[in-house]
Amino acid sequence: MADSAVQDVRTAGRERLVVVEDDPVTRTMLVGYFSDHNFDVVGAGSCAECRQALRVRTDLVFLDVQLPDGDGFELAKEIQAISNAGIIFVTRRDTDVDRILGLEIAGDHYVTKPINLRDLLARARSVLRRRSIDRKAARNHNSIAFGDWIIDLTRRELLGSDGKPVALTRAEFDLLAALVGADGRPLSRDYLIEVVSNRQADVDIRTVDALVARLRRKLVGSGTPVIATVTGVGYKLALSERL
């Protein structure tokens, strides 16, 4: 069985690439070339086949503008709606450039035929590299990395650099999640109380301090402090590095 829903596991490390191109010669050539460069490549000769191929995680799509069963531009919107894969247009005529420009398709490349393979490879790597960086920065998936740690918001787990989970209590986790979500903005104790406390009102402000202390004790990773106090304000996440 070639394709599987659990493909992520089996192709771990390799990036998945879909070549949408109706001309079989060109398609085979592209598939072969990128396979040789250690990509996990799938060919598609039509919009329909492309939709099929998109049903598993896809990192990048080479998209011919002229397709037998539809318009490449429409397909591009679909791809972006569904899969958050990168897109590189492959177009025959230079005039299509205007349409690509006009569309609200963000940050993707296009190349004109005849195809320069080395050029295309470079652009592909470029897009993928960007995407991998975006993924680290993105927060639309439920785990966020900060410092040496990864916090998985759905599983409510904190993972250390060794990948092992650290046991956090409910309040500890909520506090940390709030700080991570604030992305470096300091949060006041008043606010943090609301986040953390199940009991409604008038909880001692110093409770936050105690929680922070407990958290800090658990978060002693590679020396770099995780939670910073902002005197007179509250607490914030100490972001060690930034772009």
Partner DNA sequence: ATATATTGTGAATGTGCGTTCACATGGCGG
Partner DNA sequence: CCGCCATGTGAACGCACATTCACAATATAT
- Applying CB under 7 A, the residues found at the interface with DNA are 167, 169-172, 196-199, 202-204, 206-207, 209-214, 216-217, 229-234
Task: State in angstroms the smallest separation of the CB of 123 from DNA.
Answer: 46
Dist CA 74 CA 80 (whole Å): 10
Segment contacting a copy of itself by CB under 8 A, of 56-64, 68-76, 93-101, 218-226? 93-101
Give the residue, chosen from 133, 145, 205, 213, that forms a contact with a copy of itself under the rule CB under 8 A. Answer: 133
CA–CA separation, 65 and 67 (whole Å)? 6
Which one, 222 or 231, has the nearer CB to DNA?
231
> How many Å apart are CA 85 and CA 42, to the nearest integer?
14
Nearest distance from C-beta of residue 104 to a copy of itself, angstroms: 7
Return contacts of 204-212, CB within 8 angstroms, 24+ apart.
208/175, 208/235, 211/171, 211/172, 211/175, 212/175
Report d(CA 228, CA 232) in Å as an integer. 12
Which residues share a beta bridge with 149? 146
Our finding on whether 242 is near a copy of itself (CB under 8 A) is yes
User: Which of 45/196 has CB closer to a copy of itself?
Assistant: 196
SS3 content of the chain, % helix, strand, coil (to 5): 40, 20, 40
Indicate whether 129 belongs to the interface with a copy of itself (CB under 8 A): yes
Q: Which residues bind a copy of itself (CB under 8 A)?
A: 80, 84, 97-98, 100-101, 104-110, 118-119, 121-123, 125-127, 129-131, 133-134, 137-141, 152, 154-157, 163, 169-170, 183-186, 198, 230-233, 236, 242-243
